[in-house]
Chains A and B, each alone.
Chain A
Amino acid sequence: MAELADEAMEAEFGTVAAWTEQAVRALGPEYAVPAGCRGSGSESALRWLADGLELRPDSRVLDDGAGVGGPAGWLAAERGVRAVCAEPMAEAVRASHRLFGLPGVVADAQGLPFADGAFDAAWCLGVLCTIPDKAAALAELRRVLAPGGRAGLLVFAATGPLTGPQPEGNTFPAAEELPDLLAGAGLRLERTGRADLSDSPPEWTERADAVDAEVERRHGQDPRWQEAQEQSGRVGRLLSEGVLVPWLGLATAR
């Protein structure tokens, strides 16, 4: 996993995934989706993307970079569709399997372990910035979609030069280069939007905060928790300054 070799990335997406699962188990199942959706968009963003994916009950769906499975868990509960979770961190895949009962594989987005055209729809939420070769990842996303299949993306995209401490291991694509990146991968951009990352029901925020507090209580002194907090704090600062935007896109596989 050379592309995720950074310790900061390992801490944020590996170790903390296991701790998040542990905290959710302590607090209760209703905490799983809100905690698992941290960093992957608000409920309104998930709804916007899920609507655009034009899902049917029998749609075959991929969550590319699924983390601990929060958005896929939400999709199963809201739309009755069980997404396959692909994610490079084994701890996170185990969490998605145990918390939501979803099928999952440990996989690299730049070399997806699926047959061509295996899915009718896919989404990729907040992970493109963690992938070094974004064109390769998008080409893989396109390859595993059937022709006419839908892709939904949430991308943390740069609107200008980034200042101050950057989240390690992340490279943020410029918002204006995204349409060409998608076109180059064979994905026709149909609609774009901006996610309102605060637009979730109040109990989501409360529950996600409660899970964070529980992890903090158990592991607050661990440098890996502090590192993960520092990482997400840096992304949060860039978003609040507006130099990063939560770009939403819906595309069709040509």
Chain B
Amino acid sequence: MTATTEPARGPLGLDPALLEILACPDTHHSPLTVDEAAAELLCTTCDRAFPVRDGIPVLLLDEARHRGTSGA
């Protein structure tokens, strides 16, 4: 309504400029990669997967899924 420019849409409907700066909320703050099929953002250091719900990343440690034994 009051936005000055229409946001660009990247994978999972996310703004590419936003994706570029997103990081894991854990203290290592590593970059995230997009898993489009699972609609998740994956940490490149730890084994957390963060859900993207209704086009909004939920980047809370206690709502992350642990992917398993790989990673830290």
Contact between A90 and B56, CB atoms less than 8 A apart: yes
What 0/1 pattern do residues 5 to 45 of B give for CB contact below 8 A with A? 11100000011011001111111010100000000000000
Whether A97 pairs with B2 at a CB distance below 8 angstroms is no
**What is the bound-complex CA distance between A114 and B50, given in angstroms?**
14
Determine whether the beta carbon of A82 is less than 8 Å from that of B5: yes
A175 at the interface (CB under 8 A from B): no
- A64 cross-chain contacts in B, Cβ below 8 A: none
Let me know if A33 and B2 touch, CB within 8 A.
Answer: yes
Question: A1 contacts B56, CB within 8 Å?
Answer: no
Complex Cα gap A75–B3 (Å): 9
User: A118 to B22, alpha carbons, bound, how many Å?
Assistant: 9
- Check B4–A113 contact: CB distance below 8 A: no
A43 interface contact, C-beta 8 A? no
Q: How far is the CA of A99 from the CA of B2 in the complex (A)?
A: 8
> Contact between A107 and B1 (Cβ–Cβ < 8 Å)?
no
- Tell me the complex Cα distance, A57–B31, Å: 26
Q: Which B residues are in CB contact (< 8 Å) with A107?
A: 25, 59-60
- Bound-state CA distance A106–B57 (Å) is 6
Q: Is the CB of A108 within 8 A of B56?
A: no
Give the dominant DSSP class at A's interface.
mixed
A82 touching B61 by the CB < 8 A rule? Answer: no
Q: Does A239 contact B (CB under 8 A)?
A: no
Interface size on B, residues (CB 8 A): 32
Q: Report which residue of A60, A77, A101 has the largest number of chain B beta carbons within 10 angstroms of its beta carbon.
A: A101
**Cβ 8 A contact of A108, one of B21, B55, B60:** B60
Write out the residue numbers on chain A whose beta carbons fall within 8 Å of the beta carbon of B18: 84, 103, 105
Chain A: CB-nearest residue to B62? A1
A210 adjacent to chain B (CB < 8 Å): no
Cβ 8 A contact of B25, one of A33, A103, A112 = A112
Interfacial chain A residues near B17, Cβ < 8 Å: 103
Give Cα A183 to B65, complex, Å.
36
A residues near B59, Cβ cutoff 8 Å: 105-107, 113
Smallest CB gap from A111: residue in B = B25
Residue of A76, A97, A106 with highest tally of chain B CB at under 10 A: A106
Contact A114 B55 (CB under 8 A): no
A105-B22, A111-B25 known; A1-B1 Cβ under 8 A: no
Instruction: Indicate if A102 sits at the interface (CB-CB under 8 A).
Output: yes
Given contacts A111-B25, A114-B21, 14 further A-B contacts (CB under 8 A): A29-B2, A73-B1, A73-B2, A74-B2, A88-B60, A94-B56, A101-B7, A103-B7, A105-B18, A105-B22, A105-B59, A111-B27, A113-B24, A114-B29
14 contacts between A and B (CB under 8 A): A1-B62, A82-B3, A93-B56, A97-B55, A100-B1, A103-B18, A105-B56, A107-B59, A108-B61, A111-B26, A113-B23, A113-B25, A115-B23, A118-B21
List the 8 closest A-B pairs by CB distance, nearest first. A113-B59, A101-B3, A118-B21, A111-B25, A77-B2, A29-B1, A106-B58, A113-B25
